[in-house]
Amino acid sequence: MFDIIEQARLGELHFKSDPDSGLKSIIAIHNTKLGPALGGCRCIEYHSDTAAIMDVVRLARGMSYKAALAKVPQGGGKAVILKPAEPFDRKALYQAFGRFVNELGGRYITAIDSGTTIHDMDQVAKVTPHVSGSHSDGLDPSPNTALGVLAGMKAAALQRYGNSKLKGLTVAIQGMGNVGFHLASLLYEEGARLLVTDLQESKVKQAQTAFHAEPMSPDQFCSAHCHILSPCGLGGVINHETINVLHCDIIAGSANNQLATPDLGQQLHQRGILYAPDYVINAGGLIQVSMGLHRATQQEISNKTWGISETLYDIFTRSSVENLPPSTIADLTAEEILYQETVGA
């Protein structure tokens, strides 16, 4: 286990078992140089304890990198709950999890992730203040995530076409969920032509009506002829098969872990497809939650979110100068922020 910890440069790994509620949970705090660790809690089935550890460590590391590039005063952390066998008492489970979070004294702040809901966070909020995204704080991250993706698309368009205007460009969006639908609305206002897909037909119909979007079947997404391909569903969309059918200039979407393996960043770069690194372009939600916790106004939050455009443009510029993929440049930039020694005043 110490190999995993050292390789990821992880700060702390905490385990909790609470037989009364059935809670088995792990919290990983990756790096707190910039502030308390902030990251969601996943509750899913894992086929082994090691799989759960690997997941939480990888996700916590990702949050450190995301916070560093989003320039918010947070470190990277994440929690997983090994989903108990049904039936279980959901309220008791999340209150036990909340007590676990509370024992860490604020070094880790939790939030929603796969398998957890705002109602679960309400239970957590009953026993600890170190939670964001419950009904009591109203910090829904999705609209701001969409705004950040729009800002990132503009930076990508400027880099690729010399103009940040999205009017007249064709954008293919996978996933008309919380983020995708908001993004479609923003792009419609910008005058972009929209191609949309979702596994749920009703969501596609809604987008057709609201934004004059053109529907695609889910399997047409990767080969869509478009200027910008925008994965806003699940991860792993760009893999060793789909990379061969792409007909886009830019990939810019909200989904986490869009590249199935890191080497695909280099392949996209060689093919001249501009990839906006996922954890940079989808940081609007983190910005919303972090600044909301610090009582910032919505205007201040929007201003910072538009800053994603500048961060990405800097990454694209450095990528051209150093002839390295933007995904590699993003990692290097985050590591410089997290690990460079601060020279004493």
- Report the catalytic residues: 78
Out of 21, 64, 93, 198, the only residue in the binding site for ligand NAD (CB under 6 A) is 198
> Binding string, 266-285, against ligand NAD, x = CB under 6 A?
----------------x--x
Residue 158 sits in the site that holds ligand NAD (CB under 6 A): no
Residue 174 sits in the site that holds ligand NAD (CB under 6 A): yes
Out of 176, 264, 291, 338, the only residue in the binding site for ligand NAD (CB under 6 A) is 176
Which of 113/331 has CB closer to ligand NAD? 113
Nearest-approach distance from CB 148 to ligand NAD, in angstroms: 9
- Cβ neighbors of 88 (< 8 A, separation 6 or more) are 21, 22
Q: Which two three-digit tokens encode residue 269?
A: 């770069």
Residue 26 sits in the site that holds ligand NAD (CB under 6 A): no
Stretch binding ligand NAD (CB under 6 A), from 32-40, 172-180, 244-252, 299-307:
172-180
Q: What share of the chain is helix, strand, coil (3-state, %, to 5)?
A: 50, 15, 35
- Cβ neighbors of 83 (< 8 A, separation 6 or more) are 43, 44, 45, 115
Out of 4, 54, 92, 234, the only residue in the binding site for ligand NAD (CB under 6 A) is 234
- Pairwise CA distance, residues 242 & 224, whole Å: 11
Stretch binding ligand NAD (CB under 6 A), from 18-26, 131-139, 251-259, 305-313:
251-259
Q: Tell me how many degrees the CA angle 293-299-303 measures, rounded to the nearest 5.
A: 95
- Pairwise CA distance, residues 174 & 240, whole Å: 19
Question: Is residue 129 reached through a cis peptide bond, with omega within 30 degrees of 0 on the bond before it?
Answer: no
- Pairwise CA distance, residues 19 & 84, whole Å: 11
Residue 305 sits in the site that holds ligand NAD (CB under 6 A): no
Residue 326 sits in the site that holds ligand NAD (CB under 6 A): no
Window 103-122: residues binding ligand NAD (CB under 6 A) = none
- Pairwise CA distance, residues 65 & 78, whole Å: 13
From residue 234, give the alpha-carbon distance in Å to each of 254, 255, 286.
Answer: 9, 6, 18
Stretch binding ligand NAD (CB under 6 A), from 80-88, 129-137, 192-200, 310-318:
192-200
Residues within the interface to ligand NAD (CB under 6 A): 141-142, 145, 174-180, 197-200, 203, 218, 232-235, 254-256, 282, 285
